[in-house]
Structure 1
Amino acid sequence: MPDFHRYRVPGGCYFFTVNLLERRGNALLNDRIDLLRDAVRRVRRSRPFTIDAWVVLPDHLHCVWTLPPGDDDFSARWRLIKTFFVRGLPRTERLSRVRRAGGERGIWQRRFWEHAIRDDEDYAAHMDYVHFNPVKHGLAASPADWPYSTFKSCVDRGLYPEDWIGVGNRNLSAGELGE
């Protein structure tokens, strides 16, 4: 088994991609958006972080977070978000023998993709990637049309014009399978 290490920067800013285990034809994240929002709120109460950007698509999500100074434990936050979300769901998913033996639910992929933001240009590219993603996947004509995104709050904060339709590098490596 490979020796997997995550790059950690205390108080850092990170981009994440988190995928459902069964992605094809699965709209669970949008169907249960209130449950996901509640899970995130619960975690932020005990382990604060700033949400710079977030988009929830039917089968995966992307976000940019900034952690508090001295804190680099994004893994615990994701473990808790996934756990709280899953606890609110009925046990109807198909389970592999391995997941059943380990007492796991078959909702999330085990890992997540993370990238430590390096500079302002990297930050802007990942913010754009998050907000353009519904358009990329054919779910919305423009970022402003997608309801499960921080795009409108970023417009309110003056980070984007309301009619922004995406610019720059849309082929960013972002942890989505099949890209």
Structure 2
Amino acid sequence: MGWVSVQFMLRGLQLHKQKHFENTGTVRFVTFSCYHNYNLFKTDKVKQIFIKHLKRVREKYKFKLYGFVIMPNHVHIVLLPINNVRLSQIIGELKSLSAREIIEYWTLLDLNIFEKLKVNRSGKQKFAFWQRKYYDYNCRTKEITLNKIMYCHNNPVVKGLVENLEDWEWSSYRWYYGLESVLEMD
């Protein structure tokens, strides 16, 4: 088989297309990453902006929030969309609102980070905070849902950001154990 045949076959596979299956009534484990996996969640202020918009989008779409963690270069959320709201609506609005305010905040600080975040979309130069795609997983059982919540809680320890789960302020762990938390769970 020649190189041209292989190229033709690969074009038809759409290797980078991630399918999202909307299972109504199913808890979802969602991961989305910062642009080029850069560590853009370096400051508490940036994390606070994200939390503010997570609260706002949650209030608007009334989804159930069961777990989350903000890592330096990505976010995990465990949620249950309700009232026939599509996950893509929730995540799209959350990413859009948070990116807009974070980039506006950085503009005020006159940071040199923008060179790394430049993208050309629709013939216009813009700045990207998030990767365009996200990953989602249907949690079909309570056990899977609990495993995903635990995964969120353990992530900062596994990545060496803190020694103890309760030391990471930016996850749902603190809420589950009655400690001061940045966000309440359902």
Q: Is there any run of 5+ residues in structure 2 with no aligned partner, and where?
A: 1-10, 108-112, 180-186
The aligned runs of 1:111-126 (5 Å cut-off) are 111-126=133-148
Alpha-carbon separation, structure 2, partners of 1:65 and 1:129: 14
- Name the residue aligned to 2:168: 146
In the TM superposition, residue 101 of structure 1 has moved relative to its aligned partner by: 2.5
- Name the residue aligned to 1:52: 66
Q: What is the letter of the counterpart of residue 22 of structure 1? A: H
Return the index of the structure with the highest Cα Rg. 2
In the TM superposition, residue 155 of structure 1 has moved relative to its aligned partner by: 1.8
SS at match of 2:150: helix
TM-score of the superposition, structure 2-length normalised?
Answer: 0.73
CA deviation profile, 1:11-51 (whole Å, cap 9, x unmatched): 22000111001334433474411211111122122211111
Alpha-carbon separation, structure 2, partners of 1:37 and 1:27: 12
- Name the residue aligned to 1:163: none
1:20 aligns with 2:34: yes
Paired-residue identity, %: 21
- Name the residue aligned to 1:35: 49
Q: What is the letter of the counterpart of residue 130 of structure 2? A: W
SS at match of 1:51: strand
1:86 aligns with 2:107: no
How many aligned positions are there? 156
- Name the residue aligned to 1:129: 151
Choose between structure 1 and 2: higher helix proportion: 2
Q: What is the letter of the counterpart of residue 93 of structure 1? A: F
- Name the residue aligned to 1:8: 22
CA deviation profile, 1:83-120 (whole Å, cap 9, x unmatched): 11122123552345543726653110001110000112
CA deviation profile, 1:45-73 (whole Å, cap 9, x unmatched): 221111100111111111100122x5250
Alpha-carbon separation, structure 2, partners of 1:32 and 1:96: 19
TM-score of the superposition, structure 1-length normalised?
Answer: 0.76
Q: 2:86 aligns with which of 67, 73, 83?
A: 73
